[in-house]
Structure 1
């Protein structure tokens, strides 16, 4: 049967195993068909042997779908090149045969059969593409072009099929202004837009349509947006959903405006508005590749896709030379590099140093700088652009050919990796047999030779990338004369080496001007005798020996170096086995300076860095370290980071979220201890950080629930159900601190009679309960990076005994009929922090109604005072009156934070009926300002409470950053405490 001659002996057993499986699973008639084909086609027979070794995917198709594979072989499909038009014609013929083609005389709506045919068509095309690529019947551009054509044909067929179906129910979407039928326009992004799809790529899409309006001529009219959202959902389902026949393409919609939280489809006006007012630099970068892959010609010859691209062009390309693009691209690459280092994926031929992404960045930075003036640079394909860039002098002579050769090599490597199992990965294999198989597919005798050439290409790419994009070296980074400090760090290589004498070392340190020389000497000797140092590998010890003189030199300028050194050495011991972090500090003096500065200012920061050394990356750029972003920028940065993690990779998503929270928490803490940010801004940033994370966690949990159970369905005539996350306490009051937990309540507005519309349908209440559970799981689960947030759900109706998620109706009923006064007090600090806009507005309206209810002030006063006394007796300073005077609990003692909070809550509940503006805010300071403006509290009283509140919270933050309890000496803040107590007595007696 098959010849083993052209297969290396290393793989003979693999081929023999495949042959044995073939005989087991095929009938005698099928075996006879294969034998006849092999005899008639000796050259393709050798190619078949190669494919059965080189691709488990091809081998599996042959075993699982024997007749179909034999039909495919006998048709000689592997020998043919196919244009996009030929592919489309072949799919049309298959669909017509089953009456699924909308252009046929008859049309049968059968979604399962349509999806089945799409998947079988994809299988046959993939077999052809992989065969031609692995047997080198096709060059790399043909492979990527074929994959792109396959995606376009599948997208267009899915749109046409589901368009026809939906029109039968809802009619034709008609433009509000043009009064003409509206098409759905699909933008292909990334490699799809650039005709460069790899052999196991997902497809990044953006759905849009020209005009708002409504459908006409159907059984029920809906808005154009609702129509196209339904169409988009059906198209995604047909392409992305895994069945027994596999899938067509994984679809990623996260590049659309507002990401996963945005509408699935927007009209042209909304698209233009978003990109002109909110579009980010990285979205400009993404839009360079954007290309219309589906969009009908409208009446009058207007091409909807061209119209859209004309609208978006001013966003993508500036009229002037835009050199800020270099900085933007550099920042994006820095983010990717940090992720690569953090995850240890330098073997990734796409993202690692010298990988595919760096070549793309080289090209696209010039497109962003000059594409507004030079239309030739709006080309989307890398291999076409590289010679043009060299021709115009943007790249040095010879660079285009070097980069083009590297690009082909890297893309062929990527295809060889992915085509083995039809998996979306760009990482070099780990197993030796898989390494050798990859090298063989790439035309090498062994992996050593292949890897040598791969590394050579990557070095060339990275060198060109550094020339174009990388930040220039800072010649002032190593001004200190570190050599003078080297004698003060004994290079002890093992336990047999004697420890230095503490007194002698102290004298040396004192001679160098070191403050606290004895304490510093003792700390150094503790490190020298530690187990962590004794078990260090030689290369790690070399890096430590290079770091310590630098560290001592910089500590020599400090007034209290001993404590700072102790904190830093905890980090040093923590990374004793991961000494790349020590190298980072040696090679980046500015990062070492920031480490010393921050660890000297906060033991909390030092502990965070020791527990999560990956955060040292954040010290590399002081510009971002001491400039925490606003909420929109936070949201945007998170979007960029999670785009590089599969939506179905929950573990990867959770780790990304945890690092994101820790990194930005570090930035805020750094800004606080260096007095860059005042207290109120610190709380703002920490609250925004939590909100942005909650928005993404809700989107992530929702996506997974919908994928498993379908969407929760409304009753007839009702809108699609909404879900909101309500923040209480510090989150609701925009007063989060470092390490604060999140007080949350979940609310939905779905009918109890509704069910989700998926194959595994569940009732709406169960759907939303599981959604809430999934959110808590993502937030609360302990991973290698710790918990994202501690979550407290006890403020929900009926507390821990109540439902995890309430309907808005049930929430209102409980609040009106069963809630205690303290629960209404808590409601003064409640606000929606994530979720649907409609339900958000309904919750806010209900909250206002509840807070503005008429109340008996005497009864209210009694309830508030009783609850406050109960809290103080349990949580305040304990002991005799004399003992209580010795310390002051900032939060719980008389005249402290909680007294101010209870005063504010009492006033809102007592007076909101006559002053509804008190319900507008949920934070204490703005409520106090509102009380003053409304004349309900004297300006002097309000200002004193605001000042005391800020002072107490600032002190609490400072103590938290030193990992100390919120307790101070009893003599501190006497004036503030007296003011609070006097005002409390005046209003609450």
Structure 2
């Protein structure tokens, strides 16, 4: 061995790190020692052992080795000699420490890819010599595809692993040679002979062990299936564990482009369109079977499938992929480590937890490879013999066995802990009091007064009859009555947990009945969607958050029931009660939108807007009800959300129009600009829950009769812009299965309902200068650009400033504003002899807005700062700074406005009207009425 070490050091002299590691490497692996001994004896230069292979190098070397091969025996020998040399190279680089884990796994996977592809092409040439080319009914060649599965598919192959393959072909037909056979027979032969070329044991060993059991119907299925047969199989017969397996599928040989098309076809089978929490139960069952095998065979020391082993990290990552991959394209990756990194970056896993799991994975894979590199044997168990243990310690550079065991215990303990957090057993104790109570109420053995007494004893002491009625209503829902027994059993488990937790969460102000009855409305709404029932049963955090939010607000209860996709947001309290800032909102929606191609993905894009709108609204409401956001920040965030949704909807609508009709150009050759102007609460940055959007659309096209350019067909620019406006409204307001993003109101556009849907900036300016009513200038005080062309937005801002800063005759201005207010109050004020309308009543919210608008229109010509902002509060601050209103009066208006809005906001969350007792807000009302009379008479 000393002589071998010296010879290797001489060859690796240029790589000091590699040369220095030789004694340890040779101690760590009998396989490497024997392989290198043979290579040195054959005077192999080993130059490439010191280098990182560039992309494609392994395949180039395999192809070169197979170049002049013409018999199966020669092909076997060439592949085996090359395989042994490459495995020695990979092991040496790994054990010496010069290769990181990803290089080792990638090189092993590249070697397997190249060997399978070379064997496939060799066999295919020989088959075509005998039988001709297989062709479909229309004469096109039928191509083979080999899918790599498992660790090979993930480019994570371990050192002595077998390779999981699925052989398939693009279509059905027959060969065109003199000895014609069916395509099924042809591709069966191709799979059989390719496999034999790889697995046969010769004097030179084997290339790779091959496992084809993951193919449709396993050992009973055809060795190679056509694409149509595969698609049919997964649609009709595909099982949950096969979804798990297909996450790793990757075309490795044959027609790779066709393989990618196949995986695109199968994507809906692997990744459900929406969040899929049922996958966790299927994975849990699969893990249970593995654990039974571990216990039965005494495999506790198995690095791969033992507790806290590699498989549990894979299950954690792939559970997130199966649950979320349909909604989150970035998780559709066959590689484990990049997905684990994304889970941390996107907050699905705590970033520190994701990093520790990655470290654990690297450590366990290094241990696994070191065990296998010792003698090139497929084993995952810690060695028992002293020599093998010493070799493992040398490979890992760990001093003694106790230190290795301590590190393994720590790493596997952490992995096991995280695994149990994701895959905790779902069986609620069916002998618990709450479960017995639910079962008795459900099957009718407990009814009437006895049922009420039992519910009272369980903690429902204010309105037990409401709980009883809610459970009875749920029991009689058609979708619940149609449930399979197993699903109904899980529903009862969920109800038992909700009963326990609603009582535990109760406080003196809100009895447990309130939370439970409202939550059961949500459960009723999702009764036909086992995915969401599974989520609530599985997740303690989601269940607790749902109860808390339903208890706090009936409006929020209905919101969740109408859009159950938001239930996913309840999983993480850190994000639930911390709604995003505007920049974060913008980047997140932009990232998710970039994965879609409009118009091809129009339905998905529409749903994306609606899902984001609901998810973020829920997070804002949760933070609001939790006291984490003051009212101003609630309105800010609801307004930012609308801005971001409108902006992305405009991008989608524009892409749709461009694909069909090209784009409208100005006379100077530039693309026409289109801008969205917000009015009302949206313009005033005061959106509330459920607010609609007051919008006006403007453009700067100066040749409306010209045709659009660059599309499948042209239309005149005026029609193009009108259709864009209509499509933008559709993108926002169309009712889809996911609901609608926003109601849109276009009443404030020039000439109202009779006006054009989109106006040129020039005609808008002329209208505002010459035709607009005073009330339209009032509305303009709260208008601002929110999306689309920024240049058009800036020009709109200049028009707005010019119009609002025009001197006005005070008497006429006061007359117009008072007349409009009198008309509004007559039509809209709901005050009566006992209650006062906080919005429309005298001294209420609208009076404050009218006072502010009057002062802006009266005095803006004296100070441009007065029209800088579109929201009521900052306008009042600017008016006070300009001397238009006394500071004390300004403070009184802002204080009243803030109090009114907070009260109305809280009432909205409780689904109550805006009518308050006549003696409420007496001081604020008096101040507003007094100022109105002083200013407007």
Please state which band the TM-score falls in when normalised by the shorter chain.
0.5 to 0.7
Question: Gaps spanning 5+ residues in structure 2: where?
Answer: 1-124, 146-167, 174-189, 191-226, 232-249, 265-313, 347-357, 373-410
Q: After the TM superposition, which residues 340-379 of structure 1 pair with which residues of structure 2 at under 5 Å, given as runs?
A: 340=325, 356=334, 358=336, 360-362=338-340
State the alpha-carbon separation in 2 of the partners of residues 821 and 946 from structure 1: 24
Q: Structure 1 regions of 5+ residues with no counterpart?
A: 1-36, 63-78, 80-129, 148-195, 203-328, 369-387, 403-462, 879-883
Give the conservation status (yes or no) of the 8 Å contact 1:722–1:748.
yes
Q: Is the 8 A contact 1:362 1:468 kept in 2?
A: no
Question: Against the structure 1 CA distance between its residues 478 and 514, is the aligned structure 2 distance closer, same or farther, given a 3 Å change threshold?
Answer: farther
Decide whether aligned partners of structure 1 residues 978 and 821 sit closer, same or farther in structure 2, where only a CA change above 3 A counts.
Answer: same
Q: 2:152 corresponds to which residue?
A: none
Please say if residues 493 and 534 of structure 1, whose CA atoms lie closer than 8 Å, have aligned partners that are also in contact: no
Question: Any conservation in 2 of the 1:390–1:400 contact (CA below 8 Å)?
Answer: no
- Corresponding residue number in structure 1 for 2:628: 676
Q: C-alpha displacement at 1:39, in angstroms? A: 13
Decide which of 562, 568, 581 is 1:617's aligned counterpart.
Answer: 568
Corresponding residue to 1:553 among 496, 500, 510: 500
| Aligned-partner Cα distance in 2 for 1:475–1:515 | 36
1:657 paired to 2:609: yes
Residue of structure 2 in register with 1:952 after alignment: 900
Q: Deviations over 1:314-335 (max 9, x none)?
A: xxxxxxxxxxxxxxx9999999
For 1:801 and 1:366, how far apart are their aligned partners in 2? 53
Q: Could you tell which deviates more after superposition, 971-980 or 592-601? A: 971-980
964 and 482 in structure 1: CA distance in 2 versus 1, 3 angstrom threshold:
farther
Taking the aligned partners of 2:315 and 2:803, their CA distance within structure 1 comes to 51
1:791 aligns with 2:879: no
Matched, 1:778 2:731: yes
The count of corresponding residues between Structure 1 and Structure 2 is 612
Aligned to 1:602: 553
1:571 maps to what in 2?
522
Structure-to-structure mapping, 1:387-426, within 5 angstroms: 393=363, 395-398=365-368
CA distance in 2, matches of 1:40, 1:556: 74
Instruction: Please name the residue that 2:485 is paired with.
Output: 538
Alpha-carbon spacing, 1:937–1:480, altered in 2? closer, same or farther (3 Å): farther
Secondary structure class of the residue paired with 1:724: strand
Task: Provide the residue aligned with 2:786 in structure 1.
Answer: 833
Say if 2:133 is the partner of 1:45. Answer: yes
Q: For 1:29-428, what aligned pairs fall within 5 Å after superposition?
A: 42-46=130-134, 140-141=251-252, 198=260, 339-340=324-325, 356=334, 358=336, 360-362=338-340, 393=363, 395-398=365-368
TM-fit CA distance, 1:867: 0.2
Distance in 1 (CA, whole Å) between partners of 2:675 and 2:415 is: 49
**Structure-1 separation of matches of 2:172 and 2:760:** 49
Counterpart of 1:978 (choices 926, 932, 937) is: 926
Does 2:873 align with 1:920?
no
Q: Counterpart of 1:556 in 2: which secondary structure?
A: helix
Task: Give the whole-Å Cα distance in 1 for the aligned partners of 2:852 and 2:419.
Answer: 52
CA RMSD of aligned residues (A): 4.4
1:849 pairs with one of 802, 807, 810: 802
**1:500 CA displacement:** 1.8
Matches within 5 A, 1:366-765: 393=363, 395-398=365-368, 473=421, 484-486=432-434, 489-491=437-439, 497-516=443-462, 518-523=464-469, 526-527=472-473, 530-532=476-478, 533-557=480-504, 558=506, 559=508, 560-648=511-599, 649-716=601-668, 719-752=670-703, 753-759=705-711, 760-765=713-718
Q: C-alpha separation between the residues in 2 aligned to 1:614 and 1:895?
A: 41
Q: For residue 817 of structure 1, report the CA deviation from its aligned partner.
A: 0.8
Question: 2:676 touches 2:786 (CA, 8 Å); kept in 1?
Answer: yes
Distance 1:39 1:481 in 2: 61
Q: Give the deviation of 1:45 after TM superposition.
A: 2.1
In 2, are the aligned partners of 1:741 and 1:792 still within 8 Å (CA)? yes
Does the alignment pair 1:875 with 2:875? no
* Larger Rg, first or second structure (1 or 2): 2
> CA distance change for structure 1 residues 564 and 705 in 2, over 3 Å: closer, same or farther?
same
Taking structure 2 as the reference length, what is the TM-score of the superposition? 0.59
Matched, 1:820 2:767: no
- 2-structure distance, mates of 1:955, 1:390: 53
TM-score using structure 1 length: 0.56
Report the Cα offset of residue 620 of structure 1: 0.5
C-alpha distance after superposition, 1:47-69 (max 9, x if no partner): 6689766799999999xxxxxxx
Give the match for residue 964 of structure 1.
912
Q: Could you tell me which residue of structure 2 aligns to residue 900 of structure 1?
A: 848
- Asked if the contact 2:136/2:172 (under 8 Å) is kept, the reply is no
Matched with 1:97 is none
> Cα distance 1:667–1:807, how it changes in 2: closer, same or farther (>3 A)?
same
1:933-975 CA-to-partner distances (Å, cap 9, x unmatched) read 2222111111111111111111121121122222222222222
Q: Provide the C-alpha distance between the structure 1 equivalents of 2:696 and 2:503, rounded to a whole number of angstroms.
A: 51
Seen in structure 2, the aligned counterparts of structure 1 residues 399 and 962 have a Cα distance that, compared at 3 Å, is farther
Instruction: Confirm or deny: 8 A CA contact 2:675 2:699 kept in the other structure.
Output: yes
